[in-house]
């Protein structure tokens, strides 16, 4: 068994190799969970394969294939459930029904609601020892650690923040084009907006794709206190730092520097490929999105730091539900695929940014670059963004709150909400959306 900086206690004897990938789309949470439970019911007998649920778009199938090549006797049934939100909803239903998979990938934004139901998951310290998270970035490890010390997930990746910009469009507008010079234009988010105003006065294209994700999400992700306070209570409504991030996004909209293209929509993809804006967010996982969405822009983009430099957007965790029929097989997969070297190799093959600290401490990542983004020092930018980032407390309703803020700003850009009433509109939407308890199946918050 591969170690993750700790001694793995036991090893599974495997049965003949096999793998099934089951994509699931556009189903209600109840129907989705039901269909997966039916498949999982037949597959989790004592001699069946390990049942693994993942969300789509993150190359988990490729990682499973590599694992199976190295472990030819293993059997894994991979179900790519849908989006990360669909996967989380299906898992919630499965946990309530007592019919969960053996292993599940949970997106970082969804993790808090499952941490609030820690009894529904196995403590990974029972497999890897007390130092199960010792090899990982501290804030990433802490996000999967309950108050009493129970570890319910191992971080597979993080999403160091950066910005992508079109060097050719910057040059045409008379702005600097080298990444270090561009970063110097915007030490603060206010400076970022002012740079956008300068750019827009000299260009026929928009400065940013939108203000909801490029400005608000990035700025909010840098706050030491975001939606939850240290006592575990929601503080979004009275958080002056959060309101400031929201106001800066509104200022960017009112300055007329945004294309108003909502992220990940067909219009946004077309605008990315067509050069309709000059700047967009580039957390580590977005690099692959840019390459695939706008392949003809090879060499035109550059990567540089966000205002304030530090911050994280994204990341996932592997967890073993308490009802797992093959917990040893699940742990064996975690230990082999999430070791520091394995995470670095996965990134180098096109996967997500490592959550293990070793690639950053050893300098193995700092020199990373990609010809698609010209001479950008991508590894250096991403390293600075995440290595010393403070932990930010999340909670069961973090995704709900974030979605309301983002959707409100999108509505402002579409003209259906006035900027003057946007903050109150977002708070009202959150109040309506929050359930009586944000925990899984009524479990208490941390």
Q: pLDDT confidence of 90, banded at 50, 70, 90?
A: very high
Same domain, 259 and 287: yes
Residue 337 has pLDDT above 90, yes or no: yes
Percent share of the chain, pLDDT over 70: 87
Q: What is the mean pLDDT of residues 274-286?
A: 96
Over residues 154-165, the pLDDT tens digits come to: 999 999 999 999
341, HSE (Cβ side, Cα atoms, 13 Å): 4
Does the residue 6 lie in any domain? no
Q: What is the mean pLDDT of residues 333-341?
A: 92
Q: What is the mean pLDDT of residues 167-172?
A: 98
Percent share of the chain, pLDDT over 90: 69
Parallel/antiparallel/unpaired status of strands 163-166 and 206-208: unpaired
Same domain, 375 and 428: yes
Over residues 211-239, the pLDDT tens digits come to: 999 999 999 999 989 999 988 899 999 99
Residue 2 has pLDDT above 60, yes or no: no
Does the residue 7 lie in any domain? no
Looking at per-residue pLDDT, the higher value among 47 and 70 belongs to 70
Write out the residue range of the structural domain in which residue 324 sits: 18-157+314-361
Q: pLDDT confidence of 387, banded at 50, 70, 90?
A: confident
Q: Given this model, what pLDDT does residue 37 score?
A: 39
Does the residue 29 lie in any domain? yes
Parallel/antiparallel/unpaired status of strands 103-107 and 163-166: unpaired
Q: pLDDT confidence of 392, banded at 50, 70, 90?
A: confident
Looking at per-residue pLDDT, the higher value among 398 and 437 belongs to 398
- Here the tokens at position 332 are 């064996």
What CATH number has the domain bearing residue 411? Answer: 3.40.190.10
- Residue 10 near residue 327, CB atoms below 8 Å: no
Same domain, 39 and 182: no
Over residues 129-140, the pLDDT tens digits come to: 888 888 899 999
Looking at the structure of the chain, the number of domains it has is 2
Does the residue 445 lie in any domain? no
Same domain, 192 and 228: yes
Q: What is the mean pLDDT of the chain?
A: 86
Over residues 339-373, the pLDDT tens digits come to: 888 888 888 777 789 999 888 888 778 888 999 99
- Here the tokens at position 412 are 């402002």
Q: pLDDT confidence of 441, banded at 50, 70, 90?
A: very low
Q: pLDDT confidence of 388, banded at 50, 70, 90?
A: confident
Over residues 187-220, the pLDDT tens digits come to: 999 999 999 999 999 999 999 999 999 999 999 9
Does the residue 8 lie in any domain? no
Q: What is the mean pLDDT of residues 273-292?
A: 95
Residue 22 has pLDDT above 60, yes or no: no
Residue 3 has pLDDT above 90, yes or no: no
Same domain, 336 and 396: no
């Amino acid at each position: 068994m591969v170690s993750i900086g700790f001694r793995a206690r036991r090893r599974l004897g495997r049965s003949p190799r096999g793998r099934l990938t089951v994509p699931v789309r556009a189903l209600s949470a109840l129907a989705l969970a039901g269909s997966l439970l039916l498949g999982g019911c037949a597959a989790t007998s004592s001699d069946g394969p390990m049942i693994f649920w993942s969300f789509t778009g993150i190359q988990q199938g490729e990682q499973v294939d590599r694992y199976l090549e190295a472990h030819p006797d293993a059997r894994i049934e991979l179900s790519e459930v849908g989006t990360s939100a669909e996967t989380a909803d299906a898992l919630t239903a499965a946990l309530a029904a007592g019919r969960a998979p053996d292993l599940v990938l949970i997106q970082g934004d969804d993790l808090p609601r499952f941490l609030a139901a820690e009894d529904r998951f196995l403590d990974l310290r029972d497999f890897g020892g007390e130092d199960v998270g010792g090899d990982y970035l501290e804030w990433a490890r802490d996000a999967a650690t309950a108050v009493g010390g129970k570890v319910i997930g191992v971080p597979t990746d993080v999403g160091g923040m950066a910005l992508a910009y079109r060097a050719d469009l910057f040059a045409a507008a008379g702005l600097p084009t080298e990444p270090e010079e561009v970063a110097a234009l915007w030490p603060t988010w206010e400076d970022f907006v002012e740079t956008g105003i300068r750019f827009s006065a000299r260009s026929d294209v928009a400065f940013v794709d939108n203000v909801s994700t490029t400005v608000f999400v990035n700025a909010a992700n840098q706050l030491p206190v975001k939606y939850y306070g240290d006592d575990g209570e929601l503080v979004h409504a009275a958080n002056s730092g959060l309101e400031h991030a929201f106001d800066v996004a509104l200022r960017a909209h009112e300055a007329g520097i945004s294309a108003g293209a909502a992220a990940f929509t067909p219009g946004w993809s077309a605008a990315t490929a067509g050069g309709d804006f000059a700047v967009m967010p580039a957390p580590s996982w977005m690099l692959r999105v840019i390459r695939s969405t706008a392949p003809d822009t090879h060499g035109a983009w550059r990567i540089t730091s966000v205002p304030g430099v530090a911050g994280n957007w994204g990341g996932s965790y592997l967890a073993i539900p308490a009802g797992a029929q093959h917990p040893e097989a699940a742990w064996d997969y975690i230990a082999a695929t999430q070791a520091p070297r394995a995470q670095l190799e996965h990134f180098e093959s096109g996967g997500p940014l490592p959550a293990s600290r070793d690639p950053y401490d050893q300098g193995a990542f700092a020199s990373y670059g990609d010809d698609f983004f010209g001479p950008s020092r991508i590894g250096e930018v991403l390293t600075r963004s995440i290595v010393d980032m403070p932990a930010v407390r999340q909670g069961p309703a973090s995704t709900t709150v974030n979605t309301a803020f983002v959707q409100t700003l999108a509505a402002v850009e579409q003209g259906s909400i006035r900027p003057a009433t946007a903050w109150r509109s977002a708070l009202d939407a959150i109040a309506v959306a929050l359930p009586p308890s944000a925990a899984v199946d009524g479990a208490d918050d941390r």
